[in-house]
Amino acid sequence: MKHVAIFMFPGYGHVNPTLELSRFLVGLGHRVTHVVDERYAADVLAVGAEAVVYASRRTRLGDGAVTGEDIGALGLTFLRESMEVILPRTLEAFRDDVPDLVLHDLESFFTARSAARAWGRPTAQLFPYVASNEHFSLAQEVFDGATENVQRCIDLLTAHLTAQGEEPDAVWSLMANFSERNLVLLPREFQPRGETFDDRFTFVGHSLASDRPDTGSWTPPADGRPVVLITLGTEVNDHPDFFRTCGTAFADAGWHVVMTVGPGNLPAGPPPVEHVEVHEWIAFRTVLPHASAVVCHAGMSTMLEALYFDTPLVVVTWTPEDRVNGARTEALGLGRTLPGEGLEPARLRTVVEEITADPHVRRQVTRMRTALLAAGGPARGALVIEGWLDQHAADLLPAGVAEGDRR
């Protein structure tokens, strides 16, 4: 039995993709401990892992178009929280229970890499979104034109390192966009510049559960109308105008509409028409087998789940990362992209009907689904992590001693 610690940014789209990896690692006989915002502790415990919890102060991105500077401000807030709350909590919780391997996403670099250095343990980076290497940088795309908050992060880190007696240039290795070991939770075929990623990067396709109990049920309309699932995920769903636009776009009952609007966003009273369902949340895997299209922001988990069920995409963009994923969706022929600001109902309806009728889109979606499944998913991801654990154990052995000879 070996011990893995996982650090992820406190957002559903970051934490949720790690849960199936944890479930498989626990099934292989290892211990997994997530350092996690208290909102996600129950999800972690449900897969058999352990949780070290804290109460995050992070805010949401809010409504309207999101700029790189907005994301930089969120990153600065989380960096301060990592320094003041998460790292001290981590060092205390693992004082007598040091993990063998530290897994983390880019946003959690400070706590994960600082703790790993203190413990003398290896790290590996998890990408629940498109990965970065020397040839492609998601951070550069997201923060293009943003300087103020990025510089504040650099200054804060530099001050921290120099106070620790380190050289200021150490900030660049601490902030590195990738590691020597990287696990990417999407297919290589979706990755921008995917051909440039070497064997430091393992693409496992997805992190979805093949069998997820207690997710409820959903019954499609008996009249056979096509179904469209509409969602803005958990981070940018404060757009009531968008949901009203969707209701207008599909007002004539030609489609059956399933909308998820997010906690606290349900409108007062029932929907005005029977062919429109409005939920705070619904398990997508109960609807997707019956859906002809998905309208979503470019959250990677939603997009991959749609592709897993062979469903084409209409990607509505508000953030710089949305635009990266949306551009990739169009380049690969998996659907279409529309800007969230100023979206007209007729335009949305037309694009949904175009992608569902386009045989090229259907073929490309099936091709990506095949690649997604062939990459191995969370089962393969867990075996890759186990291989890193075994390698670390072997590296600790005295020269000339085989691992089987350990006592």
pLDDT in 10s for each residue of the chain, 407 residues: 999 999 999 998 999 999 999 999 999 999 999 999 999 999 999 999 999 999 998 876 655 667 888 888 888 999 999 999 999 999 999 999 999 999 999 999 999 999 999 999 999 999 999 999 999 999 888 887 778 888 999 999 999 999 989 998 999 999 999 999 999 999 999 999 999 999 999 999 999 987 665 556 888 988 899 999 999 887 666 778 888 899 999 999 899 999 998 876 666 566 667 899 998 889 999 999 999 999 999 899 999 999 999 999 999 998 889 999 999 999 999 999 999 888 999 999 999 999 999 999 999 999 999 999 999 999 999 999 999 999 888 887 676 655 555 43
Question: What is residue 64's predicted lDDT score, i.e. its pLDDT?
Answer: 62
CATH class given for the domain over 3-206+376-405: alpha beta
Spatial separation of the C-alpha atoms in residues 317 and 296, rounded to whole Å: 9
What is the CATH code of the structural domain delimited by 227-373? 3.40.50.2000
**How many C-beta atoms lie closer than 10 Å to residue 345's C-beta?**
15
Q: Helix, strand or coil for residue 334? A: coil
**pTM for this prediction:** 0.92
The residue among 121, 125, 131 whose CA lies nearest residue 99 is: 121
Question: What is residue 319's predicted lDDT score, i.e. its pLDDT?
Answer: 86
Confirm if 393 and 221 have CB atoms less than 8 A apart: no
Question: What is residue 217's predicted lDDT score, i.e. its pLDDT?
Answer: 83
Largest CA distance in the chain: 75
Q: Helix, strand or coil for residue 101? A: strand
The residue among 108, 330, 312, 150 whose CA lies nearest residue 228 is: 312
Spatial separation of the C-alpha atoms in residues 298 and 276, rounded to whole Å: 22
Sequence letter at residue 241: D
Confirm if 24 and 8 have CB atoms less than 8 A apart: no
Distances (CA, A) of 227 to 106, 215, 310, 311: 36, 19, 14, 11
Spatial separation of the C-alpha atoms in residues 194 and 63, rounded to whole Å: 32
Question: What is residue 233's predicted lDDT score, i.e. its pLDDT?
Answer: 80
**How many C-beta atoms lie closer than 10 Å to residue 358's C-beta?**
16
Question: What is residue 59's predicted lDDT score, i.e. its pLDDT?
Answer: 74
Question: What is residue 262's predicted lDDT score, i.e. its pLDDT?
Answer: 80
Place of tokens 């949340």: 281
Beta strand extents in 26-134 (DSSP E only): 31-37, 50-54, 101-104, 123-127
Burial of residue 80 (CB within 10 Å: 0-12, 13-18, 19+) is middle
Answer whether 3-206+376-405 and 227-373 agree in fold.
yes
Question: What is residue 239's predicted lDDT score, i.e. its pLDDT?
Answer: 77
Question: What is residue 406's predicted lDDT score, i.e. its pLDDT?
Answer: 46
Spatial separation of the C-alpha atoms in residues 38 and 85, rounded to whole Å: 13
- Angle between helix 359-374 and helix 300-308 axes, rounded to 10 deg: 100
Confirm if 163 and 142 have CB atoms less than 8 A apart: no
Look up residue 263 and give its two tokens. 């906690």
Handedness of CA 187, 192, 196, 198 (dihedral sign): negative
Q: Please spell the DSSP secondary structure of 232-288, one letter per residue.
A: -TTTS---HHHHHHHHHHTTTSSSEEEEE--TT-PPSSS-SSTTEEEES---HHHHG
**H or E element at residue 51:** strand 50-54
Look up residue 59 and give its two tokens. 């805010």
The residue among 77, 135, 138 whose CA lies nearest residue 106 is: 138
Half-sphere exposure of 381 (CA within 13 A, CB side): 32
Q: In what order do the strands lie in the sheet with 276-279?
A: 276-279, 256-260, 227-231, 291-296, 313-317, 335-339
Question: What is residue 400's predicted lDDT score, i.e. its pLDDT?
Answer: 62
Spatial separation of the C-alpha atoms in residues 138 and 130, rounded to whole Å: 7
**Domain locations along the chain:** 3-206+376-405, 227-373
